[in-house]
């Protein structure tokens, strides 16, 4: 297992377009998280899944954002009608749900630029 | 609510100098976890250490050491004999033990460390 994979690494899109990112977690990890990181800031929590269930969503996740993890393996994050404020690094992480404070493994992120 | 403060935005040192990165946290949880991550220019967050709130022993791993002081809500990170490869953004993060705070990491704003040859 090579860790958490994210695709694409970079995405440039025009304002108003829809974009979708994919995350493949470590295979035995049943928790999957999405974070957003803007320039010069720390990552901010967006949402997380335990298996296929989406258990928590941040208030940062507006109606234009939707995340899925249909079979409890990979996850997708879709942003509809992108805005310039959506430009950021989108990070995915996974962990085992053995208790709080589990080690999270992060992917390299997808850098989104909305022009 | 949980909060992590890294007051140092940028630090620049010369190779072989020791450098300490500060982290102060706020939480109402009695059990919590503290983390340090390194983010090189490639963007991936690299896990460095995790400590739980009941273990105040300082830890040393090679050139890295961590000083956890519950009395001052601080979890500082020291790099001894810094090297150019240590140049990166370093994040301190906090997780609770259950419920909402236990399912997410709260990050500080990061400290950009530049080690010059």
pLDDT profile of chain B (117 residues), mean per 10? 94 97 94 92 88 84 91 95 97 81 84 97
Chain B, nearest residue to A108 by Cα: B44
Q: Is A53 on the interface with B (CB under 8 A)?
A: no
How many helices, marked H, and strands, marked E, lie in chain B?
1, 12
The predicted-structure confidence for A46-71, as pLDDT tens digits, reads as follows: 999 999 999 889 888 889 999 999 98
Q: Is B93 on the interface with A (CB under 8 A)?
A: yes
pLDDT of residue A104: 84
Phi, psi of A7 (to 5 degrees): -140, 135
* Interface with A, mutate which of B103, B107, B112 (most A CBs under 10 A): B103
The secondary structure element, H or E, covering residue A93 is strand A88-95
Chain A, nearest residue to B9 by Cα: A40
Q: Is A41 on the interface with B (CB under 8 A)?
A: yes
Token digits of residue A1: 């297992």
What's the helix, strand, coil split of chain B in %, to 5? 10, 50, 40
pLDDT of residue A91: 96
pLDDT of residue A96: 82
The rounded mean pLDDT for chain A is: 91
Q: Is B4 on the interface with A (CB under 8 A)?
A: yes
pLDDT of residue B98: 67
pLDDT of residue A1: 54
């Amino acid at each position: 297992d090579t860790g958490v994979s994210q695709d694409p690494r970079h995405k440039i899109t025009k304002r108003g377009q829809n974009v979708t990112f994919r995350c493949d977690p470590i295979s035995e990890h049943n928790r999957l998280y999405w974070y957003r990181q803007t320039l010069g800031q720390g990552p901010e929590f967006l949402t997380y899944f335990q298996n296929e269930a989406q258990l928590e969503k941040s208030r940062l996740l507006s109606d234009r954002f939707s995340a899925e993890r249909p079979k409890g393996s990979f996850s997708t994050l879709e942003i509809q009608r992108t805005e310039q404020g959506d430009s950021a690094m989108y990070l995915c992480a996974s962990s085992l749900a053995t208790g709080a404070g589990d080690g999270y493994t992060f992917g390299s992120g997808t850098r989104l630029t909305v022009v | 609510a949980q909060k992590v403060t890294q007051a140092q935005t940028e630090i620049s040192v010369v190779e072989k100098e020791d450098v300490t990165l500060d982290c102060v946290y706020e939480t109402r949880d009695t059990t919590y976890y503290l983390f340090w991550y390194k983010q090189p220019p490639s963007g991936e967050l690299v896990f460095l250490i995790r400590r739980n709130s009941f273990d105040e022993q300082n830890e040393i791993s090679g050139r890295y050491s961590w000083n956890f002081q519950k009395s001052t809500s601080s979890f500082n990170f020291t790099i001894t004999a810094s090297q150019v490869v240590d140049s990166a953004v370093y994040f301190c993060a906090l997780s609770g033990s259950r419920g909402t705070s236990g399912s997410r990491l709260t990050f500080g704003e990061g400290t950009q460390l530049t080690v010059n040859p």
